[in-house]
Amino acid sequence: MKILISGNNHFCKTFKADIPRPLCDDPKKVGRLVLNSHSERFVWQCSILKDPYNHRGYQNDPYYIAVEANSRLCIFIPKSLIHDQNDFEHYLVAKMVDQAMISCQLAGIGKLTALQSIESFDQKIQHYEWIKNTDMSISGAITDMEFWLHACIDEIGHPPKGDELLDLEIFLNERPKKIKISDKPVRRKTVLPFQTFFDFWQHHFIQEQPMPSHKKQDERKKQRNNVIQLFPEK
């Protein structure tokens, strides 16, 4: 599996690198492909929020943002932490792991299993691929992130960092998001970012744990009792 980093023009320019556009048979869709995560790739649509627009006079570093394609789970990364593409990959993965641990906790997954899933993730991710592409279907999620970032600054009186930024991510990732799945007719589905992200994470990185022997015995007893109830002795 690879991590596919899909960035809009402004995002790509900040790295001063020759990032290619993905190939497409339809010239009208070049650089505007709708992308999904699956067994061979973990897709993140990335952008950058300016200053944010010198909001309320705060001279603040811009924020890189990343939105997972299937779940609309969102991540903020202060630009001051990033010097090159390797830095971005490192911080993106670190934030992904944070969100994975939170989603596992919300799903009732034990800490050991969650940590084992991180190890599985590290083993399965083989490389990164960068493309210059803007998935317009995610633009609504990016606008939502911008709005709540500004609201957070108004509430706490300064640009969020550290735990404050994590709290904002958790807040946004618990909110339902609507995703367009059809143009004609227009149809949308609602997703819960943490839940949908966990479903993907569980499917690809959480190994099915063998049932402990004492639980197997309890299960066999339950099955025997069910049989006795269905076929009582005469």
Q: Domain boundaries in the chain? A: 2-230
For residue range 20-66, what is the model confidence (pLDDT) as tens digits? 998 887 877 888 888 999 999 999 999 988 655 455 555 556 899 99
Main-chain phi, psi angles of 132, to 5 degrees: -95, 105
**88 CB burial (10 A radius; 0-12, 13-18, 19+):** buried
* Confidence check: pLDDT of 3 > 80: yes
The tens digit of pLDDT for each residue in 98-131 reads 999 999 999 999 999 999 999 999 999 999 999 9
Prediction pTM value: 0.83
DSSP reduced 3-state for 13: helix
- pLDDT tens per residue across span 148-199: 988 888 888 888 889 999 999 999 999 999 887 766 676 788 999 999 999 9
What per-residue string of b and e applies to 19-45 under the rule 16 or more CB within 10 Å gives b? beebeeeeeeeeeebebebeeeebbbb
Matching residue, tokens 């991540």? 75
Give me the pLDDT at residue 231, please: 45
pLDDT at 224 > cutoff 60: no
